[in-house]
Amino acid sequence: MAKLLEVKNLKTYFLTDDGLVRAVDGVSYDLEEGETLGLVGESGCGKSVSALSILRLIPYPPGKIVDGQVIFEGRDLLKIKEEEMRNIRGNHIAMIFQEPMTSLNPLLTVGRQVSEPLEIHQNMKKKAALQQAVKLLESVKIPEAELRAQAYPHHFSGGMRQRAMISMGMGCNPSLIIADEPTTALDVTVQAQLLELLKGLTKEHGMSLIIITHNLGVVARYANRVNVMYAGRIVEMGSSIDIYENPQHPYTIGLMASVPRMDQDVKQKLIPIEGQPPDLANLPEGCPFHPRCKYAVEKCLHETPVLEPVDKNHKKACWVDIKSGK
């Protein structure tokens, strides 16, 4: 498989009243064609900002991509002109946002919104694009698609809106889809419907998918590889089997132990991660996780760890070897 996307040392900072916020601070990873990557972390860990940075959708000011490369199909997206970037967005890389209500235009019919990228990127005539939009809405299983295309977003339920968003993303047959918490606001059964749909469609068309989520279960079900983020950095990356069966970073280990699992039989006590999530404007020196880490040693207080391989394709950013405790 060929590499579709390479993110190298990406840094996105925000200048706020509280000081400089390093939302994404030196993130590097690759994505191969046809692969599904899960980006996991809690709120404020930089997972959404790192994805928005790929599409250069960071509002300036206060945000700015200060360093790094995003190489997509051989081109550095951070260096190309805005015009070329517009041709990438929605056409080669599509994004599915968390809140379909706020990301759809309430004044335009759903059909119009789904057909718009087709007109812009595929030079389709208005009528042909609208017909194509109906087909797309059918492909995401919206009943009576022809009629529904004339409806406005507020006529749709949350799940239907997100289906419309997915059909919009699929429209131009992009090679990469970034789904930012696509199902967080939805009910479990609707969440399952949508994720199955997304997985089916990306597989059918050979698209790559980045799923951004805080839900460890969703990642286990759908992703081949996982990046775990904490305080703007990737702290562990590997195949989903590596991450779930052999987690190496104390944060990943802590996350796994803190969620109740449906397949555990007994009333096991949860082991929470102590302390509070980090304040990005006020990060501690050294490893940002050290104040909450039970394995922390002297070195962690002063030096920031970098990603080092633990195994083939499995990396962690931690000074301590968990097994030996050193």
Partner 1 sequence: MENKNLLEVENLRVYFPVHRGTLIKKKVGEVKAVDDVSFKILKGETLGLVGESGSGKTTAGQAILQIEPPTAGKIIFEGKDITGLEKNERRKLRREMQMIFQDPFSSLNPRMKIGNIIEEPLIAHKLTNNRKENKERVEELLQMVGLMPSMAERFPHEFSGGQRQRIGIARALAVNPKLIICDEPVSALDVSIQAQVINLIEEIQEKLNLTYLFIAHDLAVVRHISDRIAVMYLGKLVEVASRIDLYRNPLHPYTKALLSAVPIPDPRLEATREHIVLKGEIPSPMFPPSGCRFHTRCPEAMPECSSRIPQLKEVDSHHFVSCHLFKD
Whichever of 6 and 42 has its CB closer to partner 1, that residue is 42
Binding segment for partner 1 among 18-26, 56-64, 116-124, 238-246 (CB under 8 A)? 238-246
Q: Does 107 bind partner 1 (CB under 8 A)?
A: no
One residue of 46, 90, 232, 254 binding partner 1 per CB under 8 A = 254
Q: Does 189 bind partner 1 (CB under 8 A)?
A: yes
Q: Does 191 bind partner 1 (CB under 8 A)?
A: yes
Whichever of 133 and 255 has its CB closer to partner 1, that residue is 255
Q: Does 283 bind partner 1 (CB under 8 A)?
A: no
Q: How far is the CB of 299 from partner 1 (least distance, A)?
A: 23
Q: Does 92 bind partner 1 (CB under 8 A)?
A: no
Q: How far is the CB of 134 from partner 1 (least distance, A)?
A: 20
One residue of 18, 76, 204, 274 binding partner 1 per CB under 8 A = 274
Nearest Cα residue to 51 out of 21, 31, 73, 81: 31
Q: Does 253 bind partner 1 (CB under 8 A)?
A: no
Full strand arrangement of the beta sheet holding 208-213? 93-96, 176-180, 208-213, 36-40, 225-230, 233-239, 314-316, 308-311
One residue of 255, 287, 310, 317 binding partner 1 per CB under 8 A = 255
Q: How far is the CB of 263 from partner 1 (least distance, A)?
A: 5
One residue of 82, 263, 282, 323 binding partner 1 per CB under 8 A = 263
Whichever of 218 and 307 has its CB closer to partner 1, that residue is 218
One residue of 15, 57, 241, 301 binding partner 1 per CB under 8 A = 241
Between residue 194 and residue 223, which ones bind partner 1 under the rule CB under 8 A? 196, 214-222
- Which residues here bind partner 1, judged by CB under 8 A? 42-43, 157, 159-160, 187-193, 196, 214-222, 240-241, 244-245, 254-263, 265, 267-274, 276-277
